[in-house]
Amino acid sequence: MDRLKGKTALLVGAGSIGPGWGNGKATAVTFAREGAQVFCVDRNLAAAEETVKIITGEGGNAAAFAADVSKAAEVEAMVAACRKAFGRIDVLHNNVGIAEMGSVVEVTEAEWDRVFAVNLKSAYLAMKHVIPVMIGQGGGSIINISSIASIRHVGISYVSYGTSKAAMNQMTRTTAVEFAPKHVRVNAILPGLMKTPMVEHSAGLAQSYAKGDIEAMWRARDAQVPMGHMGEAWDVANAALFLASDESRYITGIELVVDGGLTCRA
């Protein structure tokens, strides 16, 4: 308990795309349960507010803010607003991510650019503006949500998604090395097949797995995993809690795979 007591977390993508628990929403609530004050950012203000309502309903401290973090000016405004609300930033959690289906032959130029802006540029912009704040405070912890699709072909075709996440892994390693002397840690989490609203509400994913049949998609995803089932948003949240806390103080630049053994299988 109180593993994040006294810390402020800036959680980018703190809402959920649909009812239930997405990775970002579960992480925001987990951080708050461990004593952090959580600045919940989402381009969908209502989604961020719902997360804040859950946190404050449990007696925690949180605030909601609307920003499209693929845009530099909105990221700058987000960082300023977080500092104004809570005075500091100890943890930056970059959770936003979207998937567009298709191989290099199928994906359009507009889709490619949008995926890279939302999945990669957003994390670059957030780190660009948060790292100087962390250095001024004496350090901090940054968590970038990647995917096992950055290191494997997971059986469905979404090259723009996997490639943007692979670039995020290298941005994580490079930034970890460059800011380690300033006590800013930067790590990535690579979730595997998680049962979240993002997957349920992506028409492209259900189509790719099982011709649009959601229940058949869940069965197909369960069957792929050595543990026999998909993970939950809480599994990502608990990994993030460890990386956000001082328990991981000697860990930087890693890719923490949370996948029930999937990437160990040939």
d(CA 196, CA 179): 33
The stretch among 54-62, 105-113, 130-138, 186-194 that binds ligand NAD (CB under 6 A) is 186-194
d(CA 114, CA 11): 21
- Beginning with the edge strand found earlier in the chain, give each strand of the sheet holding 8-12 in spatial order: 61-66, 37-42, 8-12, 91-94, 140-145, 184-191, 255-258
In terms of CB distance, is 122 or 172 closer to ligand NAD? 122
User: Which are the catalytic amino acids?
Assistant: 161
Which element (helix H / strand E) includes 256? strand 255-258
Least distance to ligand NAD, CB of residue 62, Å: 15
Strand partners, 142: 92, 186
In terms of CB distance, is 36 or 193 closer to ligand NAD? 193
Does 196 bind ligand NAD (CB under 6 A)? Our answer is yes
Does 76 bind ligand NAD (CB under 6 A)? Our answer is no
Which of 8, 37, 141, 147 is in the footprint of ligand NAD by CB under 6 A?
A: 147
Separation in Å, CA 80 to CA 87, 134, 140, 151: 9, 13, 17, 35
In terms of CB distance, is 137 or 207 closer to ligand NAD? 207
Does 126 bind ligand NAD (CB under 6 A)? Our answer is no
Does 118 bind ligand NAD (CB under 6 A)? Our answer is yes
Does residue 29 contact residue 51 with C-beta atoms inside 8 Å? yes
The stretch among 19-27, 28-36, 83-91, 242-250 that binds ligand NAD (CB under 6 A) is 19-27
Does 47 bind ligand NAD (CB under 6 A)? Our answer is yes
Does residue 224 contact residue 194 with C-beta atoms inside 8 Å? no
118 Cα distance to chain centroid: 11
The stretch among 54-62, 67-75, 169-177, 237-245 that binds ligand NAD (CB under 6 A) is 67-75
Could you tell me which of 100, 144, 139 has the C-alpha nearest to residue 122? Answer: 144
- Cα 195–Cα 201–Cα 205 angle in degrees, nearest 5: 75
Does 123 bind ligand NAD (CB under 6 A)? Our answer is no
In terms of CB distance, is 43 or 129 closer to ligand NAD? 43
Footprint on this chain of ligand NAD (rule: CB under 6 A): 13, 15-17, 22-24, 42-44, 47, 67-70, 95-97, 118, 122, 145, 147, 191, 193-194, 196-199, 233
